[in-house]
Amino acid sequence: MDKLSPARRSWNMSRIQSRNTKPEILVRSMLHRLGYRFRIHMQGLPGQPDIVLRRHLAIILVHGCFWHRHKGCKLAYTPKSRLEFWERKFDENIRRDEEVMRELVKMGWRVLTIWECQITDPKELQDRLIHFMKEEQE
Ligand SMILES: [Zn+2]
């Protein structure tokens, strides 16, 4: 009945939980204000990337620090109970993120990862986006 493997399903669950988050929406509206057109959660690309700027061959991933395990970040804490469960889940997420990144880069996409904890200063976020989008022209 259920064709998804447990690993795949839990990955999908974590993706669903990390969709349309506040940080993601902030990045989207900032890009919009800068005049960029993009698609979101694009099917048919590895990992269904959060933000895809096809004409620019650019992808922006907005990562929740907890699910995607931002290294050294206080938001990426490990729950104290069911330690094994969480560690397995986190390992899965990290491996999956690395795989997605490798595939996207191989396909010729430029990828910018923005962590949720980095979205505190709108000006800084804007500078970062502008910088990333300008790199293609070099
Ligand atoms: Zn973080």
Residues 43-63: tens digit of each pLDDT: 899 999 999 999 999 999 999
Nearest Cα to 76, choosing from 84, 86, 85? 86
Assigned domain for 88 exists: yes
Nearest Cα to 117, choosing from 83, 78, 68? 68
The rounded Å distance from CA 72 to ligand 1 centre is 8
Assigned domain for 2 exists: no
Domain, as residue range, for 49: 17-135
Chain-centre distance for alpha carbon 93? 11
The rounded Å distance from CA 20 to ligand 1 centre is 17
Assigned domain for 4 exists: no
The rounded Å distance from CA 34 to ligand 1 centre is 25
Q: How far is CA 15 from CA 32, 83, 107, 110, in A?
A: 23, 21, 22, 21
Could you tell me if 58 and 46 are in contact, meaning their C-beta atoms sit under 8 angstroms apart?
no
Taking only the tens place, the pLDDT of each residue in 21-37 is: 889 999 999 999 999 99
- pLDDT at position 19 is 74
Taking only the tens place, the pLDDT of each residue in 61-110 is: 999 999 999 999 999 999 999 999 999 999 999 999 999 999 999 999 99
Is 80 exceeded by the pLDDT of residue 114? yes
The rounded Å distance from CA 4 to ligand 1 centre is 30
- pLDDT at position 21 is 84
The rounded Å distance from CA 99 to ligand 1 centre is 20
Assigned domain for 77 exists: yes
Assigned domain for 94 exists: yes
The rounded Å distance from CA 63 to ligand 1 centre is 8
Pairing mode, if any, of strands 51-53 and 110-115?
unpaired
The rounded Å distance from CA 75 to ligand 1 centre is 6
Q: Across residues 112-137, what is the average pLDDT?
A: 92
- pLDDT at position 91 is 96
The rounded Å distance from CA 131 to ligand 1 centre is 21
- pLDDT at position 135 is 85
- pLDDT at position 1 is 45
Q: How far is CA 46 from CA 77, 96, 109, in A?
A: 27, 10, 11
Provide the domain count of the chain.
Answer: 1
Assigned domain for 27 exists: yes
The rounded Å distance from CA 77 to ligand 1 centre is 10
CATH of the domain at 80: 3.40.960.10
Distance (Å, rounded) from C-alpha 86 to C-alpha 63?
Answer: 18
Distance (Å, rounded) from C-alpha 55 to C-alpha 18?
Answer: 25
